[in-house]
């Protein structure tokens, strides 16, 4: 019986030793995999920081460019509106009059004064408008100027976006 006990104890000691060695191997494998995972996560995190920094720089550059574009067109629009208001004030004060050159709508040619024989622009028949009619023309002019400035601004914005998209 002593012999059987020795065999069982040896078997149990061998099993415990094997279990312990396998545990060490298992711990080493898990530790190596954890290190690899940590390194990969660090690499991804670093790349994300670089990407976010680059995106922030691009966003700031776009905001600066768009602010400059906005300032340019806002100034142009304000200048044109001031010019139009001066014309309006001149028409209201009677120092200027609004005239329209008559044209043949079918040919877009200016209609000539029948008393003149030369072919210059000064020969066109001119129609004087009333002050109210002049104000209406200047209102239309202001609206056209504003629309043109908005269109130019939007075209500039679209061109800027198109430049940003091209690699």
pLDDT of 94-141, one tens digit each? 888 877 776 666 555 555 554 444 444 455 566 777 778 878 888 888
Establish if 145 belongs to a structural domain. yes
Establish if 32 belongs to a structural domain. no
pLDDT mean over 72-84: 89
Integer Cα distance of 153 and 1 in angstroms: 102
Establish if 34 belongs to a structural domain. no
Residues 144, 146, 148, 150, CA torsion sign: negative
Establish if 40 belongs to a structural domain. no
What is the number of domains present in the chain? 1
Establish if 45 belongs to a structural domain. no
| pLDDT the model gives residue 123 | 52
| pLDDT the model gives residue 98 | 78
Establish if 31 belongs to a structural domain. no
Mean predicted lDDT score pLDDT of the chain: 83
Q: How confident is the model at residue 161 (pLDDT cuts 50, 70, 90)?
A: confident
pTM, full prediction? 0.51
Establish if 36 belongs to a structural domain. no
DSSP states along 33-78? HHHHHHHHHHHHHHHHHHHHHHHHHHHHHHHHHHHHHHHHHHHHHH
Residues 6+ apart with CB under 8 A from 73: 149, 152, 153, 156
| pLDDT the model gives residue 87 | 87
Q: Which domain holds residue 132?
A: 2-25+51-165
């Amino acid at each position: 019986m002593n012999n059987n006990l020795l065999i069982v104890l040896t078997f149990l000691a061998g099993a415990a030793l094997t279990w312990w060695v396998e545990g060490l191997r298992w711990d080493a494998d898990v530790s190596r995999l954890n290190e690899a995972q940590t390194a990969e996560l660090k690499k991804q995190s670093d790349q994300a920081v670089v990407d976010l920094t680059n995106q922030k720089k691009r966003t700031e550059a776009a905001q600066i460019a768009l602010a400059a574009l906005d300032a340019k067109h806002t100034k142009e629009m304000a200048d044109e509106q001031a010019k139009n208001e001066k014309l309006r004030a001149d028409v209201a004060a009677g120092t200027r009059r609004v005239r329209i050159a008559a044209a043949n709508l079918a040919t877009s040619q200016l209609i000539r004064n029948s008393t003149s024989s030369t072919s210059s622009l000064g020969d066109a028949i001119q129609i004087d408008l009333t002050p109210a009619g002049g104000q209406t023309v200047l209102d239309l002019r202001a609206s056209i100027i504003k629309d043109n400035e908005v269109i130019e601004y939007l075209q500039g914005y679209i061109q800027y976006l198109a430049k940003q998209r091209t690699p």
